[in-house]
Amino acid sequence: EAQVTQNPRYLITVTGKKLTVTCSQNMNHEYMSWYRQDPGLGLRQIYYSMNVEVTDKGDVPEGYKVSRKEKRNFPLILESPSPNQTSLYFCASSTPPSGRYSEQYFGPGTRLTVT
């Protein structure tokens, strides 16, 4: 079954304690993205990756890091989480565009609370 998995699904942590949210896809997709969802703001892109070792900032990258060492994995790293990073996070993957739309697959979401 084609899917994007995220772990953990729920996380409560304290300010400043480094954490990693993992994302993995089994569709051999080149493109992967991270979004955060906040009330009244919809979803906003944090970072994206077009292939292994190729990453770039999205609209709200501050306070986040990513890495893409393997094609299937795209972890989101919060080196020093702060309460304003409390949010619902989604990972997504897709194939490269080729003049036609490439389907986006979303993970189930990770609800992060930083106290």
Compute CA distances 27 → 37, 85, 92, 97, whole Å.
24, 29, 11, 15
Q: Which two tokens stand for residue 78?
A: 């919060």
Closest C-alpha to 93, from 85, 102, 101, 84 = 102
CB atoms within 10 A of CB 100: 6
Cβ at position 111, least distance to another protein in Å:
7
35 binds another protein (CB under 8 A): yes
List, in sequence order, every residue forming a beta bridge with 21; answer none if it has no partner: 76
φ, ψ of residue 8 in degrees (nearest 5): -80, 170
Cβ at position 5, least distance to another protein in Å:
12
The residue range among 19-27, 67-75, 79-87, 95-103 that interacts with another protein, by the rule CB under 8 A, is 95-103
Cβ at position 114, least distance to another protein in Å:
18
Among 11, 43, 52, 77, binds another protein (CB under 8 A): 43
Among 53, 56, 70, 79, binds another protein (CB under 8 A): 56
List interacting residues with another protein (CB under 8 A).
31, 33, 35, 40-45, 48, 50, 56, 58, 88, 90, 92, 94, 96-97, 99, 101-102, 104, 106, 108-109, 111
